[in-house]
C-alpha cells in the first residue's frame, strides 16, 4: 500500500529533515513539525524546488506540550485530507551519569523521548482508528537493546521503553488494517551526535536515512538499520558482558 501523506515530527534537522526530502523526491505529501518552524519553512521552499507537485504542510510543535500534539496532528489531517503514516521521530540525547547533578537534563530526555512519544502515538492512533488505516513508525535506537552509561543511561532506557511501547501497540492492532513498526537506527551523523568525535560504525545522514526509509516501507515489526553491521551487532550486544558495554559509551 502506498502511504501518500506522511507526518514527521522533529523534521527541522537530522533524520527527520533528510527523510522529508527523500519522501518529497518520491512524490509523497508531507506534514512536518518541530519547534524551529523557520527551518521547516526553508525545507518547504527547498522541497517546492525539488518537486513542485508535493504538498507540504508545516506547523510549529513542541512535543512536550501534549495538548498541542493532538491539536497539531488533527490540523495536519485537515491540511492534507488524511494522514497515512506518522513517524514519531522527535528526540534528544542530553543527560549524564545519575547522581551527578544533571537530573533536569535526564528528566527532559525521559519526557521528550518517551512520555511525549506516547502522546504522539495516541494522537496518531486516534486518526488511524477513525479512518481505519494507517502506519505508525517510531524511531528508537540500537541503544534500546542494553543499558549504557553516562550521557546514554537515560537515553537508552527511553529507547528501550519506546521499542516496547511500539511492540505492545502492534500486538494491540492485530486483526486491524493499522500497522506499527519500530526502527532502531545505528549511529547516523546529525545534530544529536555532532559533538561526539568517535562514534562506532557511524554513517552519513543520507546513507542512514536511505536504510531507514527502505525498512519503513516493509511495514514489519522491527528493524536495525543500516542492516550491516547493526543486525549482527545488536545480537552480539544482547549477550555482551557489561565490561564490554562499558567501552561502547
Ligand atoms: N542520529 C543518530 O545516530 C540516531 C541514532 C538512533 C536514534 N536516533 C533518533 O532519531 C531521532 C532524530 O534524531 P536526529 O539524529 O535527527 O537528531 P537531531 O538532528 O538533533 O534532530 C532532533 C529533532 O527532534 C526535534 N525535537 C527535539 N525536541 C523536540 C521537542 N520538544 N518538540 C518538538 N521537536 C523536538 C528537533 O526539532 P526542534 O529542535 O526544531 O524542535 C529536531 O528536528 C531521535 O529520536 C533520535 O533519538 C538518532
Of all protein residues, whose CA lies closest to atom 17 belonging to ligand 1? 192
Looking at the predicted structure, is the pLDDT value of residue 208 above 80?
A: yes
- pLDDT attached to residue 247: 83
Strand residue runs (E) in 161-210:
178-185
Instruction: Identify which of 37, 40, 49 has the alpha carbon closest to the alpha carbon of residue 20.
Output: 40
Looking at the predicted structure, is the pLDDT value of residue 1 above 70?
A: no
Rounded to an integer, the average pLDDT of 2-27 is: 98
- pLDDT attached to residue 196: 84
Rounded to an integer, the average pLDDT of 59-80 is: 98
Looking at the predicted structure, is the pLDDT value of residue 21 above 60?
A: yes
Looking at the predicted structure, is the pLDDT value of residue 77 above 70?
A: yes
Band of residue 2 on the pLDDT scale cut at 50, 70, 90 = confident
Write out residues with Cβ below 6 Å of ligand 1: 10-16, 34-36, 61-64, 89-92, 112, 139, 141, 185, 187-188, 190-193
CATH 3.40.50.720 fits 5-246, yes or no: yes
For 147-162, how does the pLDDT look when each residue is reduced to its tens digit (9 = 90+)?
Answer: 999 999 999 999 999 9
Rounded to an integer, the average pLDDT of 40-50 is: 97
Pocket test residue of 33, 68, 90 for ligand 1, highest count of atoms within 8 A of CB: 90
Percentage of residues of the chain with pLDDT beyond 70: 100
Find the length of the chain: 249
Quick one: CA torsion of 112, 92, 211, 168, rounded to 10 degrees?
-30
Task: Return d(Cα 81, Cα 4) in angstroms, integer.
Answer: 11
Q: 3-state DSSP call for residue 33?
A: strand
The per-residue b/e assignment along 144-181, b for 16 or more CB within 10 angstroms, e otherwise, is bbbebeebbbbbbbbbbbbbebbeebbeebeeeebbbb
**Mean pLDDT taken over the chain:** 97
For 102-114, how does the pLDDT look when each residue is reduced to its tens digit (9 = 90+)?
Answer: 999 999 999 999 9
Pocket test residue of 10, 182, 210 for ligand 1, highest count of atoms within 8 A of CB: 10
For 225-244, how does the pLDDT look when each residue is reduced to its tens digit (9 = 90+)?
Answer: 999 999 999 999 999 999 99
Half-sphere exposure of 2 (CA within 13 A, CB side): 6
Q: What is the pTM of this model?
A: 0.98
Q: What is the residue extent of each domain of the chain?
A: 5-246
Amino acid at each position: 500500500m502506498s502511504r501518500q501523506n506522511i507526518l514527521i515530527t522533529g523534521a527541522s534537522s537530522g533524520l527527520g529533515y533528510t527523510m522529508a526530502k527523500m519522501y518529497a523526491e518520491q512524490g509523497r505529501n508531507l506534514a512536518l513539525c518541530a519547534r524551529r518552524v523557520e527551518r521547516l519553512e526553508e525545507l518547504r521552499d527547498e522541497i517546492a524546488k525539488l518537486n513542485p507537485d508535493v504538498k507540504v504542510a508545516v506547523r510549529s510543535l513542541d512535543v512536550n506540550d501534549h495538548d498541542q500534539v493532538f491539536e497539531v496532528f488533527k490540523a495536519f489531517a485537515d491540511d492534507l485530507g488524511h494522514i497515512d503514516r506518522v513517524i514519531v521521530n522527535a528526540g534528544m540525547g542530553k543527560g549524564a551519569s545519575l547522581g551527578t547533578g544533571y537530573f533536569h537534563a535526564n528528566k527532559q530526555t525521559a519526557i521528550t523521548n518517551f512520555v511525549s512519544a506516547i502522546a504522539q502515538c495516541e494522537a496518531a492512533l486516534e486518526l488511524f482508528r477513525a479512518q481505519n488505516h494507517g502506519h505508525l513508525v517510531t524511531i528508537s535506537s540500537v541503544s534500546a537493546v542494553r543499558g549504557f552509561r553516562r550521557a546514554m543511561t537515560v537515553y537508552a532506557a527511553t529507547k528501550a521503553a519506546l521499542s516496547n511501547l511500539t511492540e505492545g501497540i502492534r500486538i494491540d492492532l492485530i486483526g486491524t488494517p493499522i500497522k506499527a513498526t519500530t526502527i532502531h537506527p545505528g549511529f547516523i551523523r546529525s545534530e544529536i551526535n555532532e559533538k561526539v568525535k568517535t562514534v562506532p560504525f557511524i554513517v552519513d545522514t543520507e546513507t542512514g536515512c536511505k536504510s531507514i526509509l527502505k525498512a519503513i516501507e516493509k511495514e514489519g515489526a522491527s528493524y536495525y538499520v543500516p542492516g550491516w553491521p547493526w543486525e549482527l551487532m545488536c545480537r552480539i550486544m544482547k549477550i555482551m558482558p557489561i565490561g564490554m558495554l562499558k567501552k561502547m559509551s
